[in-house]
Amino acid sequence: MLLKNNGQRFIGLFIAIFLLLLLMCASIVYGYTDTTWGMVLDAFQNNNGSNEHIIIETVRLPRSLIAAAVGSSLAISGVLMQTLTKNPLASPGIFGVNAGAGFAVVLAVTLFSVGNLQAFTWISFLGATVAAIAVYTIGSTGREGLTPMKLTLAGAAISAMFASFTQGFLVINEAAFEQVLFWLAGSVEGRKMEILTNVLPYLLIGWLGSLIISSKMNVLSMGEDVAKGLGLNTGLLKIMVAIIVILLAGGSVAIAGPIGFIGIVIPHVTRSIVGIDHRWLIPFAGILGGILLLAADIMARYIIMPQEVPVGVMTAIIGTPFFIYIARKGFNAR
């Protein structure tokens, strides 16, 4: 662990928050349309309706806020999933949220010719929720209730099922393919502020909830039997985790489509910085997740300008070397 005591962790947290804010500003300032820090200030204080000001307010600002919110949510749900499944490779996708959301969107496009991002938000949120509930229910059947193994298997099966359905629909309907492909790649670009404000209440509940259950997650991480022996209601906690993951990961996929990697990598990066206490791990992961997605999104604008690299690809390009470095050092190098 990099930060060894609570004093260092507090300082680390402030630095991380500062970095997050800095990147949020940078995300507003830098891009294809030339803007400056001064213009951004102007756009907020006395917007004169110029092209730059409009871009800053309606394109860059939502994009920056969305990247921060989605990155945080994915990272936090990744932490929760890895503790719940005791699987270091678990991600929110294990709950079937991405596959469920993808299928719902494709279904809506094919059957009901829905075609705008706004509508995709609710449809994908619904799809994610349905898939997650299915995974949770199947994973909970049997005597011992939800076990890490059953959850992982149920998640893999449900995800594979929805993914095949999605592909089937796309093969039949080529027009839908065009429309859905950009959504399936995952992006924080081109979303209106409204999409964020619609989903934000759910994310807020998820963030707050994840902080509230953080000390209980510490108990759960010691194993089901020990946790029960210590008086933790593990069944209730697991349901709470499932709900929070649906809110955060489902909300994220609703806003930005499926963005992988952050949910797997950031929890590990964070553990190597602050250790395994969820009371620190969850807030730190949230902030670092936001930082990674913002950084990836900013870089995505510059690599093949004027085109943009899908942000999902960028997170992988930035995250992988980090991941390999940590894996080589050992996940909990002391």
Partner 1 sequence: MKTAIETKNLTLSYGDSIIINELDLQIPKGEITVFIGGNGCGKSTLLRSIARLLKPKNGAVLLEGNAIAKMSTKDVAKQMSILPQSPIAPEGLTVLQLVKQGRYPYQTWLKQWTEKDEEEVTKALKATAIEDLKDRPVDSLSGGQRQRAWIAMTLAQDTDVILLDEPTTYLDMTHQIEILDLLFELNEKEQRTIVMVLHDLNLACRYADNIVAIKDRKIYAQGKPEHIISCPLVKNVFGMDCQITVDPLFGTPLCIPFGKGRCILKEVVL
Residues engaged in binding partner 1 (CB under 8 A): 1, 143, 215, 218-219, 221-223, 225-226, 228-233, 271, 275-277, 331-332, 334
Torsion of CA 117, 119, 125, 127, to 10 degrees: -110
Listed in sequence order, the DSSP H helices in the chain are 6-29, 37-45, 51-54, 61-85, 97-112, 117-140, 148-172, 174-185, 193-212, 214-220, 224-229, 234-245, 251-256, 262-274, 278-302, 311-329
Instruction: Give the nearer residue to partner 1 in terms of CB position, either 219 or 292.
Output: 219
Quick check: 178 and 118 in contact, CB under 8 A? no
Least Å from the CB of residue 143 to partner 1? 7
Least Å from the CB of residue 148 to partner 1? 12
Q: Residue 62 to residues 16, 43, 59, 190, 281: CA-CA distances in angstroms?
A: 21, 14, 6, 9, 27
Least Å from the CB of residue 125 to partner 1? 31
Least Å from the CB of residue 228 to partner 1? 5
Instruction: Give the nearer residue to partner 1 in terms of CB position, either 192 or 279.
Output: 279
Residues 6+ apart with CB under 8 A from 282: 76, 79, 80, 210, 211, 214, 217
Least Å from the CB of residue 226 to partner 1? 5
Instruction: Give the nearer residue to partner 1 in terms of CB position, either 191 or 271.
Output: 271
Instruction: Give the nearer residue to partner 1 in terms of CB position, either 203 or 219.
Output: 219
Residues 6+ apart with CB under 8 A from 84: 90, 148, 151, 220, 238, 241
Instruction: Give the nearer residue to partner 1 in terms of CB position, either 60 or 150.
Output: 150
In the chain the first and final C-alpha atoms are separated, in Å, by 5
Least Å from the CB of residue 5 to partner 1? 11
Least Å from the CB of residue 248 to partner 1? 22
Measured on CA atoms in the order 66, 69, 72, 78, is the torsion positive or negative?
negative
Instruction: Give the nearer residue to partner 1 in terms of CB position, either 271 or 301.
Output: 271
Q: Residue 38 to residues 18, 23, 29, 35, 294: CA-CA distances in angstroms?
A: 20, 16, 9, 8, 21
Instruction: Give the nearer residue to partner 1 in terms of CB position, either 27 or 83.
Output: 83
Least Å from the CB of residue 318 to partner 1? 25
Quick check: 92 and 265 in contact, CB under 8 A? no
Instruction: Give the nearer residue to partner 1 in terms of CB position, either 22 or 230.
Output: 230
